[in-house]
Amino acid sequence: MPVNSGPATTWIVAGAPGAGKTTVARVLAGLLDPVPAVLDKDTLFGGLVREVLAVNGRQDSEREGPWYDRHVKVHEYGAMTAAAREIRAPGCPVMLVAPFTGQIRDLRGWSAWVADLGGEPVRLVWVRSDAETLRGRLVSRGRSLDGGKLDDFDAFVARMRPDTPPPVPHLEIDNRFGAPPLRDQLEAATLR
């Protein structure tokens, strides 16, 4: 039986809502060996968040902003972080899929989060997008939870900065309209 030499890799797939994180994560997971456990924020918490918002008299589309950040997002991200730390401790790689805007845009915050995840190795895959692509994807997926983003789209784009790379070490995957195929980009990037 092999001896565990420390925590397995944590893969973070981050970017703006509508950038294509879930698609990138699916392709990346298929390229990795061993395949990581994939924890997607929307899959894990979508129904729970809908109920929390309803019980508090909030609209289902309120998935952004100060109230959401204080009462919901902090718990979503805290649970994902704790689960990742637990999953990877015995040697199972894990992949977290969520915007993680605050964590990836602040060097000190990133370092603290890496420690909370159980330390290195942590690999950030940042999904680049732009305003045109985000609007197109948000409109085409037709989900009520995107209503708040579309209602004040300029402010949403200003907060998300979908085409400004984060200052922390990352692998950039371009998912704008017209970009090279994701699989080609991911294969090239992960084989380096």
CA-to-CA distance for 6 and 178, rounded, in angstroms?
A: 40
Model pLDDT, residue 120:
97
Residue 158 in domain: yes
pLDDT digits (tens, 9 = 90+) for 139-177: 998 888 788 888 889 999 999 999 999 999 999 999 999
Contacts of 109 (CB under 8 A, 6+ apart): 102, 103
Model pLDDT, residue 122:
97
Instruction: Write down the H helix ranges in the chain.
Output: 21-31, 41-55, 66-68, 74-88, 101-104, 107-116, 131-141, 147-151, 153-160, 182-190
**DSSP annotation of 100:** -
CA-to-CA distance for 93 and 77, rounded, in angstroms?
A: 18
CA-to-CA distance for 43 and 145, rounded, in angstroms?
A: 13
Please, are residues 43 and 79 in contact by the beta-carbon 8 Å criterion? no
Flag whether the pTM goes above 0.85: yes
CA-CA-CA-CA dihedral for 96, 99, 103, 107, to nearest 10: 110
Does position 112 have pLDDT exceeding 80, yes or no?
A: yes
What's the structural domain count of the chain? 1
Residue 24 in domain: yes
Q: Mean per-residue pLDDT for 80-92?
A: 96
Residue 72 in domain: yes
Instruction: Categorize the per-residue pLDDT at 3 as very low, low, confident or very high, splitting at 50, 70 and 90.
Output: low
pLDDT digits (tens, 9 = 90+) for 7-25: 899 999 999 999 999 999 9
**DSSP annotation of 56:** T
- In angstroms, the Cα distances linking 165 to 101, 123, 148, 171, 186 are 11, 15, 24, 10, 17
CA atoms within 13 A on the CB side of 72: 24
Residue 112 in domain: yes
Does position 63 have pLDDT exceeding 90, yes or no?
A: no
Which amino acid does the sequence have at 190? T
Percentage of the chain lying above the pLDDT 90 cut: 82
Domain hosting residue 122, numbered range: 10-187
How many CB atoms lie under 10 A from the CB of residue 170? 16
Residue 3 in domain: no
Please, are residues 149 and 138 in contact by the beta-carbon 8 Å criterion? yes
Residue 1 in domain: no
Does position 62 have pLDDT exceeding 90, yes or no?
A: no
> What is the CATH classification number for the domain harbouring 139?
3.40.50.300
Residue 73 in domain: yes
Residue 2 in domain: no
